[in-house]
Amino acid sequence: MTQPIKLAAKIAKVMEAVGYVAKTGTNSAQGYKFVQASAVADKVREQLSKLSVSMTPTNIDVISEGLTPSGKQALLTLRFTWTLTDGETGETLSFQSIGTGADSGDKAAYKAATGALKYALLTGFLIPTGDDPESDIATDKISSAAKALFGDQERVAPAPTKKVEVGEFDF
């Protein structure tokens, strides 16, 4: 009799199958592209279901609630605990994500939940979206200029010629 595949191995298969998720949404008010929660959920759900794995929210905590600085919108931050359950073995794995939502009506909780789900899927399954939170326009321009000059070759800075002792610095 063959051993069932462990939940961690099934998660790795989902990670491999899903791959990159493109930014297909556009925020018209602020002019940026973003990954839609439904695009991520569709890809992950398809792969989880093939492997008989479910993902459900098993706990929701209110982290903070109040108003935006303008005082015009409700602001809500929620922490979700998500549980992956292997339908074949009963094995489980839980992890958390946070989502924040602001709305002038009654949608702050829904926005927070959508954000928490999207980031749970993106981070839990290591799904790349093309974002680099450390990137900025200046860095991107320098990188583009370097590639134009040197191509895609890796450049390694020369090793320092002087050894520096820790005691030489004032902290």
Tens-digit pLDDT profile for residues 17-70: 999 999 999 999 899 999 999 999 999 999 999 999 999 999 999 999 999 999
| 114 located within any domain | yes
Residue 43 sits in which domain range? 7-159
| 167 located within any domain | no
| 166 located within any domain | no
| 50 located within any domain | yes
Single-letter amino acid, residue 42: D
pLDDT of residue 11: 97
Q: Report how far residue 142's alpha carbon sits from residue 131's, in angstroms, rounded to the nearest whole number.
A: 18
pLDDT of residue 167: 45
pLDDT of residue 170: 42
pLDDT of residue 2: 74
pLDDT of residue 156: 46
**Which residue reads 């015009």 in tokens?**
72
136 — pLDDT class (breaks 50, 70, 90): low
CATH (domain of 138): 3.30.390
Burial grade of 136 (CB within 10 A; 0-12, 13-18, 19 or more): exposed
Q: Report how far residue 147's alpha carbon sits from residue 142's, in angstroms, rounded to the nearest whole number.
A: 9
Q: Report how far residue 22's alpha carbon sits from residue 126's, in angstroms, rounded to the nearest whole number.
A: 14
pLDDT of residue 140: 55
Considering its fold, how many domains does the chain have in total? 1
| 169 located within any domain | no
* Residue 134 · residue 106 · CB < 8 Å: no
pLDDT of residue 168: 44
